[in-house]
Structure 1
Amino acid sequence: MHKSVNSKHRQERDETLGRVIGSNLLSLLKIFLACFVLVYLTINFAVRPIHVSGQSMFPTIEEGDFALSNAFSAKFQEIERGDIVIAYENKQMHRMIIKRVIGLPGDRISCKDDKVYVNDKALDEPYLDNEWANGIRDTVDAFTEDFTEVCLQEDEYWLMGDNRINSRDSRDFGPFKRSQIKGKDALVIFPFHKIHIPK
């Protein structure tokens, strides 16, 4: 009789332990799913982080900078010429790059004699009037190499880096679709001593 009671208690204890473990695992799964959904919504509808690799936006944004971009604006607001954006390099690699919008849907883009033309008018680019760009112009023929006219179709954007001599952009990849643009504007938050909003 005593042995039967002990066996019953042991069985009940094992069942209780099993329920506790199962309940804890279920709670952990719920927390994991909630975190996953929160991260997904944040990245796709709030902010898009990027760690800058390369010098294509120097000196506006430097290699090693960590920035946050506005994913909501990229998805729901107009993309304008001069905007700094984060985009997928292409749909296969899913590598994020940070560039500046030069051409909008329907534009005709070309470059001649170190001047970018949009619809036959020279584009004003104050972000290229800096010590770095002007120093390069003193040593080479052109800061922005010539390229023949490109006609953008509906839903196509022409993106280029501010450091034109060291940037792989639409001149290499061709136009970008709106769906490839995942962030608009940027806030550099690291290194901390360089926190700023690039223009």
Structure 2
Amino acid sequence: MDQEQSVENVENKQSPVKNEAWEWIKALLIAAALVFLIRWLIFAPFIVEGPSMEPNFYTSERLIVNKIIYSLRKPERGEVIVFHATKEKDYIKRVIALPGETIKVDGDKVYVNGTQLDETYLKQALDKAAKEGHPYNMRNFAEKTVPEGTIFVMGDNRSNSADSRDIGFIKYEQVVGRADLIFWPFGKMGLVHFK
């Protein structure tokens, strides 16, 4: 009788431990599934490489890219996007012109449909170059119309960027998402400004 009682007591003592362990395992599995869904379907980290987006983004800065926004709507002018430039390489650039619009780059002036863009995100760089007595951008682009289903993108470092002036118009299918947040370095942490 005493043996039966002690076996029953051991089982009762192990049961809460087993239950708690199972609850922890379930919680960890759910957390892992959420991380997977968020990481692969909604947001993705991106590391800036190269000088093409200076002075707004620098090499080794880490960004959060919103991968779902463009399934809800199309990219808009001024937004900073990440896209597949090649099978192995993703680029980060700024949307300048949209489908059906004409685009022309003449020195530091960018024209969309014949109207000069007010690029506030480049104001300090343009002013600095003007003070130093030279143009900020030394690469022009003859006027062309952006084909349907594509966008025209440029790096903020206009003279040192491989962008639509070189690689052509970017198809919507190439776009990974919009850069929404800088999370490294901590001193620069914050939302990405588009205009």
Q: Is TM > 0.5 for Structure 1 vs Structure 2?
A: yes
CA distance in 2, matches of 1:193, 1:142: 27
Deviations for 1:34-87, whole angstroms, at most 9, x for unmatched residues? Answer: 968963x43443102110001111121111101001101033223111111111
Deviations for 1:154-187, whole angstroms, at most 9, x for unmatched residues? Answer: 1010011111111111111000000111111320
Cα contact 2:126–2:136 (8 A) shared by 1: no
For 2:77, give the aligned amino acid.
R
Whether 1:133 aligns to 2:126 is: yes
- How many corresponding residue pairs? 164
Matches within 5 A, 1:107-118: 107-118=101-112
Task: Report the CA distance between 1:121 and its aligned residue.
Answer: 1.0
Q: 1:87 aligns with which of 80, 83, 90?
A: 83
Matches within 5 A, 1:1-199: 39=36, 41-90=37-86, 92-93=87-88, 95-130=89-124, 132-137=125-130, 138-143=132-137, 145-199=139-193
| Structure 2 unaligned regions, length at least 5 | 1-28
Query: When the two structures are superposed, what TM-score results if normalisation uses the length of structure 2?
Result: 0.75
CA distance in 1, matches of 2:183, 2:70: 19
SS in 2 for 1:172: helix
| Structure 1 unaligned regions, length at least 5 | 1-30
For 1:75, give the aligned amino acid.
S
For 1:189, give the aligned amino acid.
F
Q: Compute the RMSD of aligned alpha carbons.
A: 2.3
SS in 2 for 1:165: coil
Partner of 1:20: none
Query: When the two structures are superposed, what TM-score results if normalisation uses the length of structure 1?
Result: 0.74
CA distance in 2, matches of 1:133, 1:63: 21
For 2:178, give the aligned amino acid.
K
Task: Report the CA distance between 1:112 and its aligned residue.
Answer: 1.8
SS in 1 for 2:190: coil
